[in-house]
Copies of this chain bind each other. A is one copy, B any other.
């Protein structure tokens, strides 16, 4: 969303008398709402410049991206998650509606099929590549990793962000038809894992640690040099990890090309956007780049969850 001046002569924000109603009678369906502040919010005329964390900046140019301005940036971000898409939609619609005349919708994406395992008990879900996604993701129970890589700690120069996190969103188009034409063995070499079991190509089962030094027949690396899991691994990136929490998406059919528009709506949380920048930079020679492209991008600083009696508007002033 973009926060601006009230529109037109009616400077009184419109106060809707009732809820829009489509979720009346629906269960809560595990609704959660996450709010984020984009870098541009602090540059506007709201007097927030002094509260802008140094790390909250537009992302630099990164490999394999072609950002569409219609899916990039934003002053505010609202992420609504629910088991029922109607409940999530309703939450976003009504928050946007409260801001009628003051905020402007910039972009929105409906995701489905969460792709990244985020707890250890969870069966690892699959993305639209058909591969398990999140086998090595940080899990919510791993408090040490959460503190080390996800939550902003006391070291921050901005107390309002302590216990919060940075959210990076990337709309990643998968060229589904090209991927679907590829041979299974090549797909597995691109990822570095077996498709069905999720085991690394160096052997074992899904949760066996990949052995990047292992060689296969002919002395070639068992996990190819440009395999996605190798280049993205924390072992190759100074231990850098992030918490991924992505979703699949589809935008229907490209009317010109007749191809299926869809892919991964990548969402990740981290204590510093530098973590994502490092990992994405490391993917410059990823074999997977032939089949995907980043077409949307945004970064937000998310305050920690609200305490009873606290309002989102307060979070920047703690």
Chain A residues within CB distance 8 Å of chain B: 14, 16-26, 70, 84-86, 89, 93, 96-97, 100, 104-110, 112-113, 123, 126-131, 176-177, 180-181, 183-184, 195-196, 248, 250-253, 255, 258-260, 262
Contact = CB atoms under 8 A, between A and B. Distances in A.
A129 B22 contact: yes
Given A180-B97, A180-B100, A110 B252 contact: yes
A30 to B, nearest CB: 15
A69 to B, nearest CB: 8
Contacts of A128: 20, 22, 89
Nearest to A19: B130
Contacts of A23: 126
A24 B130 contact: yes
Copies of this chain, how many? Answer: 2
A113 B85 contact: yes
A302 to B, nearest CB: 21
8 contacts: A16-B181, A20-B130, A21-B131, A24-B130, A86-B126, A108-B252, A110-B112, A110-B252
B100 A177 contact: yes
Contacts of A84: 113
A126 B86 CA distance: 9
B93 A112 contact: no
A250 B108 CA distance: 9
A25 to B, nearest CB: 6
A21 B129 CA distance: 7
Contacts of A255: 70, 107
A260 B93 contact: yes
A183 B18 CA distance: 9
A12 to B, nearest CB: 13
